[in-house]
Amino acid sequence: AQSVTQLGSHVSVSEGALVLLRCNYSSSVPPYLFWYVQYPNQGLQLLLKYTSAATLVKGINGFEAEFKKSETSFHLTKPSAHMSDAAEYFCAVSDPTGTYKYIFGTGTRLKVLA
Amino acid sequence: SQTIHQWPATLVQPVGSPLSLECTVEGTSNPNLYWYRQAAGRGLQLLFYSVGIGQISSEVPQNLSASRPQDRQFILSSKKLLLSDSGFYLCAWTPGTGMNNQPQHFGDGTRLSIL
């Protein structure tokens, strides 16, 4: 069965510092992976996706993620944090073998310190 | 372009009252539709999904139900709400291509408070 683990429910970084949000997946076959961002009282917005093309994926707002099969990881990074990046971030995986379900991690709340 | 609408944005209901939340998608045909509930610190819990009119898959046994009376309409219902039904409910869609390498698109959610 698919599963997603996000290490660190809360992460704080200083403005201008590197952002690193961790995501590990468990899957018997290479999955499709997604990162979403959620601002308070809003739905989730797609940041980027991995669907078996390039392992380094660039997304919106300067974020990128690298798929590492050997580590079963898909960590999200941004070189320089902005105050506007403060939000909750979710990693998700879908099953490439045919079900229509998506499995989400429990989320990481990012705080950006001035 | 495709859009997804959810309403109401907020709802306060007494325990034991009925519930109806509606979600509609525009600009696409035969989407896959999803209902999630989000509780603080617990991520998204998949409640129901549908791949076509009248086709509903339930993921969690509870006092909620879902229906899809039209291609682009997805309704979440309850006959009698419990305190534990409080939460943030999200509707989402993906293209009905038969493959799930597409991201989900989410509505703005409904904040449901049970008193």
CB nearest to A32's CB, from B49, B59, B100:
B100
Q: Which of B43, B50, B48 is nearest to B87 (CA)?
A: B43
| Confidence at residue A107, expressed as pLDDT on a 0 to 100 scale | 94
Residues of B in contact with A95 (CB under 8 A): 100
Q: Which of A55, A5, A36 is nearest to A110 (CA)?
A: A36
Residue of A nearest to B45 (CA): A104
A100: contact with B, CB 8 A cutoff: yes
In order along chain A (114 residues), what is the average pLDDT of each group of 10 residues? 89 97 87 93 94 88 94 96 97 80 92 96
Interface touch B49/A100, C-beta < 8 Å: yes
Interface touch B41/A107, C-beta < 8 Å: yes
Distance CA A75, CA A90 (A): 11
Test mutation, B94, B100, B102, B108, chain A, max A CBs within 10 A:
B100
CB nearest to A41's CB, from B59, B107, B111:
B111
**Mean pLDDT taken over chain B:** 92
| Confidence at residue A78, expressed as pLDDT on a 0 to 100 scale | 98
Interface touch B101/A51, C-beta < 8 Å: yes
Interface touch A101/B101, C-beta < 8 Å: no
What does the pLDDT look like over B15-38, one tens digit per residue? 999 999 999 999 999 999 999 999
What does the pLDDT look like over B61-93, one tens digit per residue? 678 999 999 999 999 999 999 999 999 999 999
| Confidence at residue A66, expressed as pLDDT on a 0 to 100 scale | 95
CA of B16 vs chain A CAs: smallest distance (Å): 25
Q: Which of A33, A54, A35 is nearest to A46 (CA)?
A: A35
A74: contact with B, CB 8 A cutoff: no
Interface touch A106/B42, C-beta < 8 Å: yes
